[in-house]
């Protein structure tokens, strides 16, 4: 067996790399090992949308220019399930960066900071003397960050259940040709099987990431093969953008209160069920939670988990509870019609929706009432 590592991270996606980068940033002498079953670059089914909030995290991790060579996307257009449309400039630009590039750059940055990266699929964990975790009977660590994604093996090994089906979405993504000057992130919501939507996120190189996602129970309710439904609806909603390289994956949507780990194991990113239930955004949450887990691993005097739980609650607690409440309200397409309709009239509402959907935003009470009022009004008009 190796000596005891200060930190072993399972998974080299945004959550795992953020943990690695932060740990070495705070304690350059820390011995940090990053294990991933894949070699990088590797693909990951994703919309490739990196929100401005995610870029703030890159800056905090000491890699502010990681994606500076990608074109900023300033415009966002959303069509609600009932046809309300908003097209506006976002307060701060987003980026669209293929995950083959984004994740490999993060892993390279961690390696450059002194993190040891090994290709290895983790299968087993055992506690050893209460202070050390042994991974696959081979590697001993004072702390483990499980950043092994939506199907997390580590989460299962420590006995934390996966997201229930009602909190699981499934989405397919592909790539399509678009004019090189297309710089509008487009989201088309669908009433049939709601919540469901298609997106087109132009990268800036003449291609766009295009995709379609919906809740898993709604997909099952169709009684049709998943592939047929997902591919069919994508083609139906974006008929002018035939997609190639289609790949699907599920998304563990945040239930509002994540369970951040057990013992000396901290869950981060998708492994912790940290995906925004309104938008499917998960890269920002992965970066934040990974950063906080890496921080706790090298800074906490004793057991890092309480420190991590506290930091995560402070950073995202109120926001996650907000998105949980909004996701429940959003089960009614009329609520989203009202929210998008209001955003179309008031830039500050648009900005706030972006902040809640892509960052750590919460909703001021008066705004909640404004949307509620419109929702009721729409209902009265329809009735
Ligand atoms: C179709 C789709 C579209 C999406 N679009 C967006 C979007 O536009 N913007 C956004 O912000 N989010 C989006 N998301 C969500 C986003 O992809 C995830 O939230 C994000 O990838 C989570 O990062 P992570 O580091 O937690 O996990 P991942 O990126 O999944 O990384 C997990 C890593 O763990 C490794 N691993 C797994 N098991 C093991 C094991 N046993 N041993 C060792 N290594 C292991 C994997 O190889 C992988 O490298 C989308 C998701 C889907 C499915």
Condensed to tens digits (0 to 9), the pLDDT of residues 36-88 reads 999 999 999 999 999 999 999 999 999 999 999 999 999 999 999 999 999 99
Q: Residues 6 or more apart from 40 whose CB is under 8 A from it?
A: 12, 103, 104, 107, 108, 117
The pLDDT value recorded for residue 19 is 99
Which helix H or strand E contains 9, and what residues bound it? strand 7-10
242 token code pair: 């035939």
Percent of the chain with pLDDT over 90: 85
Whole-model pTM?
0.95
Domains of the chain: 4-43+100-164+254-316 (3.50.50.60), 323-382 (no CATH)
**Ligand 1 neighbour 341 (Cβ under 6 A):** no
How far does residue 267's CA lie from ligand 1's centre (Å)?
A: 13
Condensed to tens digits (0 to 9), the pLDDT of residues 156-208 reads 999 999 989 899 999 999 999 999 999 999 999 999 999 999 999 999 999 99
Q: Nearest to residue 45, comparing CAs of 290, 297, 243, 331?
A: 243
Condensed to tens digits (0 to 9), the pLDDT of residues 327-378 reads 998 999 998 999 999 999 999 989 999 999 999 999 876 666 666 666 666 6
The ligand 1 atom nearest the CA atom of 173: 1
Residue with tokens 């994604």: 149
Contact 115, 108 (CB under 8 A): no
Residue located nearest, by CA, to atom 35 of ligand 1: 11
Q: Nearest to residue 208, comparing CAs of 169, 180, 228, 237?
A: 180
The ligand 1 atom nearest the CA atom of 15: 25
The pLDDT value recorded for residue 130 is 77
Contact 232, 243 (CB under 8 A): no
**Confidence check: pLDDT of 2 > 80:** no
The pLDDT value recorded for residue 149 is 98
The pLDDT value recorded for residue 370 is 67
How far does residue 374's CA lie from ligand 1's centre (Å)?
A: 36
Neighbours of 220 (CB within 10 A): 13
Q: Residue 342: what are its φ and ψ, rounded to 5°?
A: -65, -40
67, 216, 251, best to mutate for ligand 1 pocket (most atoms within 8 Å of CB): 251
């Amino acid at each position: 067996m190796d000596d005891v590592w200060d930190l072993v991270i399972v998974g080299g996606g945004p959550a795992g790399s953020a943990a690695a980068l932060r740990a070495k940033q705070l304690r350059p002498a820390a011995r940090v090992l990053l294990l991933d079953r894949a070699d990088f670059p590797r693909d990951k089914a994703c919309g490739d949308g990196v929100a401005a909030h995610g870029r703030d995290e890159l800056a905090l991790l000491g890699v502010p220019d990681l994606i500076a060579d990608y074109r900023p996307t300033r415009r966002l257009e959303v069509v609600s399930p009932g046809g309300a449309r908003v097209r506006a400039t976002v307060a701060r630009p987003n980026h669209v960066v293929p995950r083959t590039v984004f994740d490999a750059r993060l892993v390279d940055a961690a390696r450059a900071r002194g993190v040891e990266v090994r290709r290895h699929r983790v299968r087993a964990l055992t506690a050893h003397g209460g202070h050390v975790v042994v991974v696959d009977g081979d590697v001993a660590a004072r702390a483990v960050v499980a950043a092994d994604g939506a199907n997390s093996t580590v989460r299962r090994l420590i006995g934390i259940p996966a997201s229930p089906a009602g909190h699981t979405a499934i989405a397919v993504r592909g790539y399509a040709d678009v004019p090189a000057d297309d710089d509008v992130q487009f989201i088309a919501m669908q009433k049939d099987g709601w919540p469901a939507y298609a997106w087109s996120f132009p990268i800036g190189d003449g291609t766009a990431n295009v995709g379609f996602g919906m809740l898993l129970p709604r997909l099952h309710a169709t009684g049709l093969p998943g592939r047929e439904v997902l591919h069919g609806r994508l083609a139906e909603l974006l008929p002018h953008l035939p997609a190639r390289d289609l790949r699907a994956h599920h998304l563990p949507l945040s239930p509002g209160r994540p369970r951040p780990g057990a013992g000396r194991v901290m869950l981060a990113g998708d492994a912790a069920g940290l995906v925004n239930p309104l938008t499917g955004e998960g890269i920002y949450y992965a970066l934040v939670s990974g950063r906080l887990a890496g921080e706790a691993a090298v800074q906490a005097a004793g057991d890092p988990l309480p420190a991590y739980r506290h930091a995560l609650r402070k950073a995202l607690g109120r926001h996650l509870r907000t998105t949980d409440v909004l996701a429940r309200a959003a089960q009614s397409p009329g609520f989203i019609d009202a929210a998008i309709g209001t955003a179309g009239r008031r830039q500050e509402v648009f900005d706030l929706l972006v902040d809640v959907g892509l960052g750590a935003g919460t909703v001021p009470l008066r705004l909640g009432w404004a949307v509620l009022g419109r929702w009721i009004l729409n209902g009265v008009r329809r009735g």
